[in-house]
Amino acid sequence: MIPKIRRGSRTHGLLAYLYGPGKRDEHTDPHLVGSWDGFAPDPGRDPDATLAQLAAVLDLRVKQAGTKAPAKHVWHCSARTAPEDRHLTDEEWGDVARRLVTAAGLAPDGDPDGCRWVAVRHADDHIHILATTVRGDLRLPRMNYDFKRAQAECRRIERDRGLRRLNPGDGTAAKTPPSAERFKADRTGRPDPPRQTLREAVRQAVAGATTEEEFLARLREAGLRIKLRHAPSGDLLGYAVALPGDRNANNAPIWFAGSTLAPDLSLPKIRNRLTPTTDTSVERSSPAEARRHAAAIAEPTPGLWANDERAAAHLIGIGELLDATASTSPATSRTELTAAARAFARATRSHIHAAHQHHRALRMAAHSITQAGAALGRGEDDAAAAMLLSTLVLVTLAAARWHTAHGHAQQAAASRQAADHLRTAYRQAATTPLRALHDRGQALPQPQRRTYESLLRTALSDELQQAGADPTHPALLATLAHAQQTGHAPETLLHRAVAMRELHTADNINEVLIWRLHRLADLKPGPAPKPWRSTASPARAQDLPARATPRESSGAHHISRPPSR
């Protein structure tokens, strides 16, 4: 059950909306299901009652208080059940309303001087509670943290009424667009409300940005209107953004400050993330190279999450990596990646302080992806994208476990939702390169296939084989053959791939190993390996020539990987 609380000053105006047809004729049979004394006039069911009469009795204490009454004396709370929930009866909704006004501090149980309120039902799945915030003794009610207290009461109502149990919030979520913004987006043909569109545009602009100037330049390149706020000294204090063409009734742009879009998008919070650098390792590269490098950076991060401040920083870095990947991906996978980035943004915010110095490598990887530009979505780009997305699926699942362990229910759910979108995007990117690898594996001579199958059975424990690791997987065999052809020892390489990090959460262990092997051996799409001509006994791994990969030979790119967990 989701409560939404607003404040206003027009009792009669709100009642006219609640008892009216609605903006789209969606209101049916509006009537009272509860009131402060059970005897309030009901214009919906009593032909002699009027909206003016109901507004007058609700506003009685407000008028008696005179100038002591607050300017916004109308407390308005809507409470809605989930689509899959059963429809509550009028009596049940009346009980819900009484519990919510009690929890909010408007009308405590047994208090004869509680505020006046009514609950109107004009749909099967929700009610509206209208209360006037002046008590019978003409004092103001104690309503500190009314929203949090109403949220907590909704969680108890869900339990008591057998409704869908929602995850409790912690106050770090971004504000959802109000109904007025959603209706306006529908009228103007926008896919999302401006607040949501701007939030994603700002997240993508900050992803991997190294300076304030770069961040602001990206906002301008995205076509946003920008308004900067400066101190008398000239220092930049804040910013606001607006969509071109999004104007209010006075034909003025509708501005949103960064902190209004999301708690972590204020200018001070963004400054904490910025990581100026002159490191040559982040020079412009191809989209495929940038994605392979990002996979190498992201893979070991969950093994470093024993420190909470480091973990919180890494989650922010992963969020930026997702934003950068989504903004530069081909149209075929951009929808799913954008949805994954939008979901995971919730997983990047918690009350745990982030030690931002620890996410520098992830932010630089995001910077490289952004600088590399749009991926074409074929050939090497597809394989590199599949490598990165396979890694990010496991990382987001690890994030879900970390959040669950810390009691962050909403963030854990967001991480799992992001993983679902990433799985779909991975399938879109991996289909073509995996099909090519499968065909190569099928074409390998039987003696060579048997050699690699034997190697896989030795390297993979019985437990992993039971979990779904198939030693006869043709694409995996083709990858080992390609690695050996380029001078690597397959057995050594395979043991490194298995030991990098746990594999049990993978949907397809073979595919995870394929992309780990590609990254460790720096394999790229190309012609199929030449046929295996040797008739001698299969070479043992220690007898095969080993060649250092570029990442192993270059100190600038070497990445320390944690041992297997």
User: What is the per-residue pLDDT across 508-558, written as a single tens digit (0 to 9) for each?
Assistant: 888 989 999 998 998 886 555 555 554 334 444 444 444 334 333 333 333
Six-digit token string for 478: 């083709």
Task: Please name which of 513, 564, 306 lies closest in space to residue 391, comparing C-alpha atoms.
Answer: 513
Structural element, H or E, at residue 45: none
> Average of pLDDT values for 140-163?
91
Residues 236-251 as b/e (b if ≥16 CB within 10 A, e otherwise) read eeebbbbbeebeeeee
* Dihedral in degrees, nearest 10, Cα atoms 419, 425, 426, 432: 170
Six-digit token string for 339: 């949805």
Q: What share of the chain in percent tops pLDDT 90?
A: 67
- Interatomic CA distance for residues 129 and 122, integer angstroms: 12
Q: What are the residues facing 334 on neighbouring strands?
A: none
User: What is the per-residue pLDDT across 73-102, written as a single tens digit (0 to 9) for each?
Assistant: 999 999 999 889 999 999 999 999 999 999
Six-digit token string for 461: 């424990």
Six-digit token string for 550: 């570029």
| The Cα angle at residue 367 between residues 362 and 369, in degrees rounded to 5 | 95
Q: Which pLDDT score, from 0 to 100, does residue 545 have?
A: 40
Amino acid at 78: S
Q: Which pLDDT score, from 0 to 100, does residue 49 have?
A: 94
Which residues have CB under 8 Å from 538's CB, separation 6+?
447, 448, 451, 454
Task: Express the helix, strand and coil content of the chain in percent, nearest 5 each.
Answer: 55, 10, 40
DSSP 303-370: GGTTSHHHHHHHHHHHHHHHHHHHHHS-HHHHHHHHHHHHHHHHHT--SSPP-GGGGHHHHHHHHHHH
Locus of tokens 């990442």: 551
- Interatomic CA distance for residues 298 and 414, integer angstroms: 19
User: What is the per-residue pLDDT across 346-380, written as a single tens digit (0 to 9) for each?
Assistant: 999 999 999 888 899 999 999 999 999 988 877 78
Six-digit token string for 544: 């095969």
User: What is the per-residue pLDDT across 433-477, written as a single tens digit (0 to 9) for each?
Assistant: 999 999 999 999 999 999 999 988 888 877 777 767 777 789 999
Neighbour order of strands in the sheet with 31-35 = 2-8, 74-80, 126-132, 116-121, 31-35
Q: Which pLDDT score, from 0 to 100, does residue 276 have?
A: 67
- Interatomic CA distance for residues 255 and 239, integer angstroms: 10
Reported for 498-501, long-range contacts at CB under 8 A and 24+ positions apart, including other chains, are 498/459, 498/460, 498/464, 498/564, 499/563, 499/564, 500/299, 500/300, 500/561, 500/564, 501/299, 501/300, 501/302, 501/303, 501/394, 501/561, 501/562, 501/564, 501/565
Q: Which pLDDT score, from 0 to 100, does residue 541 have?
A: 40
Q: What share of the chain in percent tops pLDDT 70?
A: 91
Instruction: Please check the confidence at residue 105 and state whether its pLDDT lies above 80.
Output: yes
Query: Packing angle between helix 194-206 and helix 331-347, nearest 10 degrees?
Result: 90
* Mean pLDDT of all residues belonging to the chain: 87
| The Cα angle at residue 514 between residues 329 and 492, in degrees rounded to 5 | 135
- Interatomic CA distance for residues 303 and 398, integer angstroms: 9
DSSP 92-147: HHHHHHHHHHHHHTSS-TT-TTPPEEEEEE-SSSEEEEEEES--TTSPPP--TTHH
- Is-contact 430 507, C-beta < 8 A? no
> Average of pLDDT values for 415-444?
94
Torsion-angle region of 468 (φ positive above 0: left; ψ -120 to 50: alpha; else: beta): left
- Interatomic CA distance for residues 457 and 331, integer angstroms: 39
User: What is the per-residue pLDDT across 275-319, written as a single tens digit (0 to 9) for each?
Assistant: 766 554 446 789 999 999 999 999 999 989 999 999 999 999 999
- Please tell me the pTM assigned to this model: 0.76
DSSP 406-436: TT-HHHHHHHHHHHHHHHHHHHHHHHHHHHH
Q: Which pLDDT score, from 0 to 100, does residue 131 have?
A: 96
Counted residue by residue, the chain has a size of 565
Locus of tokens 């998008």: 265
Residues 297-332 as b/e (b if ≥16 CB within 10 A, e otherwise) read bbbbbbbebeeeebbbbbbbbbbbbbbbbbbbbbee
- Interatomic CA distance for residues 242 and 254, integer angstroms: 6
Locus of tokens 């972590």: 264
- Is-contact 274 215, C-beta < 8 A? yes
User: What is the per-residue pLDDT across 158-184, written as a single tens digit (0 to 9) for each?
Assistant: 999 999 888 777 778 888 888 788 888
Q: Which pLDDT score, from 0 to 100, does residue 279 have?
A: 53
Q: Say how many C-beta atoms besides its own lie within 10 A of residue 255's C-beta.
A: 16
Instruction: Please check the confidence at residue 107 and state whether its pLDDT lies above 80.
Output: yes
Which residues have CB under 8 Å from 411's CB, separation 6+?
346, 347, 349, 350, 399, 403
